[in-house]
């Protein structure tokens, strides 16, 4: 996916810092807000019997579908524009961790909404996105499949949140400790 050679260098001319394109940065930050909201809404909605439960569920479904649409666009944009290179002096275990965690992120971003959608399909619930609009089921009703998908949705949510925390820690490590410009590739701003 990464193709540094084709990456536009317009910013780099100004401060020698190749960045993600503005479109990529926009999608990244939109999805960051959406995913963090989804994870909090998810654990919150299953932890209460108050009316909030229904409100949170009614946000969780359309937001999940919106994130699925965004990740599809994001993957296409990533194939088109690639990603700026990591610093040459980044130790190879960190490079490996960076690459592996990004594959994991893409996998989760695609899988979580599909698993949620399939889980509701397997449970034979109408998948209502908003008043009167339902998504079609993507699997046939099945108690065994529902159990499997429910487990997966829940487990992967915790994996996802852990990955988000690691990602934030790594981003801040780049920003505050290594000061190598990796943070600014996505956040913008001048290299420290």
Partner 1 sequence: MADPTRSRSLLASLTAIGFVVGGGAAAFAYTAGWLSPDRLTPAKVVDAFAPPGGPALGHRRNHAKGVCFTGSFESNGAGAELSKAQVFEAGRYPVVGRFNFGTPSPVAPDAKARVRGFSVRISTPDGQEWRSAQISAPVFPVSTPQAFYELLQASGSKAPEAMKNFAATHPEIAGFGGWTKTAPWTASYAEERYNGLNSFIFTDAGGKDRAVRWSWVPEAPPVSVPADDIAKRGPDFLQEEITQRIAAGPARWTLVVTVADPGDPTADPSKAWPADRRTVEVGKLIADKVEPEADGPCRDVNFDPTVLPLGIRTSDDPFPAARSAAYAVSFDRRTAEAKDYPAK
Here's the x/- map for partner 1, 165-184, by CB under 8 A: it reads as: x--xx--xx--xx-------
The single residue among 89, 93, 126, 190 that binds partner 1, judged by CB under 8 A, is: 126
CB of 147 to partner 1, least distance (A): 4
Q: How far is CA 71 from CA 34, 86, 95, 132, 172, in A?
A: 11, 22, 23, 26, 24
Length in residues, the chain: 192
Give the orientation angle of helix 22-45 with respect to helix 92-122, to 10 degrees. Answer: 50
Token representation of residue 77: 């944009």
Residues 148-167: x/- map of binding to partner 1 (CB under 8 A)? --xx---------x--xx--
132 counts as binding partner 1 under rule CB under 8 A: yes
Name residues whose C-beta falls within 8 Å of residue 104's C-beta, 6 or more positions apart in sequence.
Answer: 163
Contacting partner 1 within 34-73 (CB under 8 A): 39-40, 43-54, 57
Strands 127-130 and 133-135, bridge-based pairing: antiparallel
Which residues sit at the interface with partner 1, rule CB under 8 A? 39-40, 43-54, 57, 123-126, 131-132, 134, 141, 143-144, 146-147, 150-151, 161, 164-165, 168-169, 172-173, 176-177
């Amino acid at each position: 996916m990464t193709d540094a050679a084709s990456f536009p260098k317009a910013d780099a001319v100004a401060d020698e810092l190749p960045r993600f394109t503005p479109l990529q940065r926009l999608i990244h930050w939109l999805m960051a807000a959406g995913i963090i909201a989804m994870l909090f809404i998810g654990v919150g909605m299953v932890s209460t019997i108050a009316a909030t439960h229904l409100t949170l569920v009614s946000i969780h479904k359309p937001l999940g579908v919106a994130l699925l649409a965004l990740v599809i666009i994001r993957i296409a944009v990533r194939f088109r524009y690639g990603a700026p290179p990591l610093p040459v002096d980044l130790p190879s275990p960190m490079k490996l961790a960076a690459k592996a965690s990004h594959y994991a992120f893409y996998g989760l971003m695609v899988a979580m909404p599909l698993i949620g959608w399939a889980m509701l399909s397997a449970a034979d619930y109408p998948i209502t996105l908003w008043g009167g609009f339902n998504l079609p089921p993507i699997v046939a009703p099945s108690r065994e499949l529902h159990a499997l998908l429910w487990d997966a949705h829940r487990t992967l949510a915790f994996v996802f949140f852990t990955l988000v925390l690691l990602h934030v820690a790594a981003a801040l490590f780049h920003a505050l400790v290594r000061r190598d410009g990796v943070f600014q590739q996505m956040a913008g701003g001048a290299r420290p």
